[in-house]
Amino acid sequence: MMNNWTTDQMPSQQGKRVVITGASSGIGYETARAFADKGAEVVMAIRNIEKGEEVARQLKKEFPGAGIKLMKLDLSDLASVRKFAQEYRQSYDSLDLLINNAGVMTPPFQQTKDGFELQFGSNHLGHFALTGLLLPALNNAPSSRVVTLSSTVMNGARIQFDNLDGGKGYKRVKFYGQSKLANFLFAMELNARLKASGSSAISLGSHPGRANTNLFSLGSGKQTSLPMKIVMKLIGTQSAAMGALPSLYAATFPILKGGEYIGPDGKGGNKGYPKVDKSVLKVYDPQVAKRLWDVSETLTGISYLS
């Protein structure tokens, strides 16, 4: 483990192709920026193409010659996920890195177009479907990786299998924690299944600590309000660039084997430089992970690595 790892130690990504969900702002943007700097071909999988075009212009201005492509993806709509995957496969036959970054946090109760509770549907089920549909492309690249972002709020969370749609009551913070626990369990279960299948691809989890991003706009997608910015300062957040380091480390640090969970090294995992966080082993329950996988296949209609 390297102390105080930053993008300065990130190896060249020339010849690599990376798909990053939610790449137009916050941690996703900083992740895309780092990969563009290191020479990767960056596919920005985003909901708002107009916003993405402005971000792409900024990146190309900063990194002339950077390979940047925008593709529309709405993780709250399985039809959009399927369309994205189909269009990707029509353009490319392989994928080196998939960064499951996008997410919504603690919005008022809403449902996706498919009738799922918004946080579970977007943060987990959308990424579950996307990964499954892109798996053939990942398997066509040597030593590919999937990195799925979770959060410290998964600690103390549980999967409410009898209330996944919020029909029996909805508490926004608990449902956010549930979605982030689902992200973690998915990352670990995916790695186990990849290994069992003989695939060279690996899956890892990461979390950004308390990072200053638009997630704090409570799912609106707008800039964070001034009162919320003050709260964030009081509780001690770090920059989005620092928050992106764990996922960048998970995606590129050479000696990782798969199944690791990367987070900041500071107190409580809230701030700092990336390290392997072994404390989450107490959170991982393989039976819950398997049950979640089976439920996710049923809800999305996508089966893989069975």
Active site residues: 170
Q: Tokens 């990376």: give the residue.
A: 18
- Alpha-carbon span 135 to 130, nearest angstrom: 8
Strand pairing category for 261-264 and 274-276: antiparallel
| Identity of the amino acid at 11 | P
Exposed, middle or buried by CB within 10 Å (0-12, 13-18, 19+), for 295?
middle
